[in-house]
Amino acid sequence: MELVLPVKSSRGAVQLLRENLFKISLDLARLSANAAWKRAVLKTALSAYPNNEYFLQKLIDYRVQPNVVDATWRSFSTQLLEKIMPSPLPQLYAVKLLVAGFVQHRRDEGSLPIALSFLNRARSLLERFVSFGNTGRHSPSLWRLLMWTTNSIGALQTMGDVKEDKASVNTIFYRSLQDCPAVKSLFLDVVGYLHLDTVAAAADDGLRRVLDILTEKEARTRMPIEELEVLLEREDDEADVEDDDEDI
């Protein structure tokens, strides 16, 4: 009796076989000194399977440069912008490449404008990712990266005597709550950025707003801010009493 596989199963088997053949080709490409051939294989593999983490990691291994000169990056970034991905993984790797460029140039103070250009491009991509398609909008990692890049750009521009409105980080935080309302890491991130605010009153006001949102969502905090303030006041009072005793 001949076993006949369903059409859907046979197509899946063919796709899996093709994907594994690309993996073998990339493994063999490591033995070649021809960098152009390696990148050509990677470019074809990513065009067919952009969500394969093994292929995405090769972007880092092959030191693909996120610029228009690099054909592999051009093909990969165009695919991200033109297609809606079922997974945020390719988008995360694209941002990872841009952040790596930022870190590389950030070490040299004279290359600050170049470093900022990488962060600005990363922020533009992230804005597009979280604005189009459910995959990006419901990815907490992309929202967290968007807050981080926005905060980092503001901090670096402030170093260059250019004022950056801290409210932009809060705006992104409020937007993220519409699509990822139950992700505590978003709350922790924005609280950390608020503590970096040089204006104490603005930091306290922002912190209270975040705590109000947590209260509305009936989310637990380890300790209400009011109780924490009372405990800190008591510690200050005890320290003053000890100082008075020493003076006597």
- Neighbouring residues of 205: CB distance < 8 A, sequence distance ≥ 6: none
User: pLDDT class for 244, splitting at 50, 70, 90?
Assistant: low
pTM value? 0.78
The domain ranges of the chain are 36-83, 86-237
Question: Would you say how long the chain is, in residues?
Answer: 248
- Per residue in 89-99, pLDDT tens? 999 999 999 99
- Taking residue 110's Cβ as centre, other Cβ atoms within 10 Å add up to 7
pLDDT digits (tens, 9 = 90+) for 169-226: 888 998 998 998 888 889 888 888 876 655 555 556 667 777 777 767 666 666 666 6
pLDDT at position 86: 85
Q: Could you report the per-residue pLDDT of 230-242, keeping only the tens digit for each?
A: 766 755 555 555 5
Unique residue bearing structure tokens 């969502």: 217
Token digits of residue 226: 């009011």
pLDDT at 97: 95
Read off the pLDDT band of 113 (50, 70, 90). confident
Q: What is each CA distance from 39 to 23, 29, 74, 96, 161, in whole angstroms?
A: 13, 9, 12, 18, 41
Query: Average pLDDT over the chain, rounded to whole?
Result: 80
Q: How far apart are CA 100 and CA 115, in angstroms?
A: 10
**Which amino acid is it at 46?**
L
Percent of the chain scoring above 90 in pLDDT: 33
Residue 123: pLDDT above 70?
yes
Quote the pLDDT of residue 208.
75
Distance CA 190, CA 187 (A): 5
**Distance (Å, rounded) from C-alpha 116 to C-alpha 160?**
11
In the structure, what pLDDT confidence band is assigned to residue 1 with cuts at 50, 70 and 90? very low
Q: What is the mean pLDDT of residues 104-120?
A: 86
For residue 149, give the nearest of 177, 168, 176 by alpha carbon.
168
| pLDDT score recorded for residue 54 | 93
What would the pLDDT profile of 30-57 be if each residue is shown by its tens digit?
787 788 888 899 999 999 999 999 999 9
